[in-house]
Amino acid sequence: AQTVTQSQPEMSVQEAETVTLSCTYDTSESDYYLFWYKQPPSRQMILVIRQEAYKQQNATENRFSVNFQKAAKSFSLKISDSQLGDAAMYFCAYRSDTNAGKSTFGDGTTLTVKP
C-alpha cells in the first residue's frame, strides 16, 4: 500500500515571502499522479497543483510550483509571494494509475501567513 508523509505539521511564512512544504511518498508503482490540495477553514478541498509521474518537468501554477524528485519519492510545494489568502491546511495526495485510482492523503501541513 502507498503511504504519504508530510513531516511538517505546521509552517509559517511572512507575507510576500516564499515557503516550501515537504511531502514524501512510498510506492512500488512506476506510473502515478501527485497532487497538492488546499483546505481553508471553510473545509472545501481545492486543487492547487498536480504532477504526472512520467513527466520530468516540474508543474507550475502561477505562484505555486513543485519540486518532483521521482527517485527520492519527494514532492514538495513552493509558494512564492505568499498572500494572506494562502493560509490553510495543505494536503499532499498520491493517486495510483491502477486499482480504481484511489487517492492516499498525507496528514497535512497547516500554513500560517503573517502580515
- Identity (one letter) of the amino acid at 103? S
54: cell is 512520467
CB of 29 to another protein, least distance (A): 13
Q: Which is nearer to another protein, 33 or 80 (CB)?
A: 33
Q: Which is nearer to another protein, 30 or 115 (CB)?
A: 30
Residues near another protein (CB under 8 A) are 4, 6, 9, 33, 35, 43-45, 47, 50, 52, 91, 97, 100-108
In the block, residue with C-alpha cell 511518498: 25
CB of 91 to another protein, least distance (A): 6
- Identity (one letter) of the amino acid at 17? E
CB 15 within 8 A of CB 82: yes
Give the bridge partners for 21, in sequence order.
77
Q: Which is nearer to another protein, 16 or 45 (CB)?
A: 45
Q: Which is nearer to another protein, 9 or 114 (CB)?
A: 9
87: cell is 493560509
